[in-house]
Structure 1
Amino acid sequence: MSIWWSLHLRREAASVPLARRLLLGTMETAGVDEDIAYELSLALSEACANAVEHGGASDRRTDQYRVTAFLDGDMCRIEVADHGPGFPAELL
């Protein structure tokens, strides 16, 4: 089973549990092991909280961030993108 979704969320603390619940529901539907689903949802929560806190200046253009998830078989890809300055590549 292949599942894909993308959310555009406001940079507000209330958006973090929304993204986490959607991911957990998606993984439950796909039959992902509960422990793995929990660990991935925890990582997503941390990434979303980072986007809320550091995702760019507080203006209309940057007051949101995007969460995308893709599950296909035993592969899962989760992306969180915001308008923050990021890190220099040499630090990664």
Structure 2
Amino acid sequence: MQGHKRALTESDQKALKKSVEAPADHSIHIAAIEGAYDAFIENWELTFREYPDLLTGPENWKQIEKYSDNLQRYLEFIRSKHLKMLESQRQGG
């Protein structure tokens, strides 16, 4: 409603503060992605170092391969989404 004024709820205030304080370059979000990437690599390396038979046992490898394939598909999805967004921007939409 035009002209209607209401007090911001605590949730609204927090969301507004968060959006105002967020860096325009998304450096916090990039750092979170980098941290997740580093943790992923470190976790897998530690696991394979501690349990090398995970890489040789056929049943274990089948599960690892499943997760690796799922991860690869997800990364390909993100790349595809990126390219579609770039194409959409080029077309003015």
The answer to whether TM tops 0.5 is no
Normalized per residue, the structure richer in helix is 2
TM-score by length of 1: 0.30
Structure showing greater relative contact order (alpha-carbon pairs closer than 8 Å, 6 or more residues apart): 1
Task: Give the TM-score normalised by the residue count of structure 2.
Answer: 0.30
Q: Which has the larger radius of gyration?
A: 2
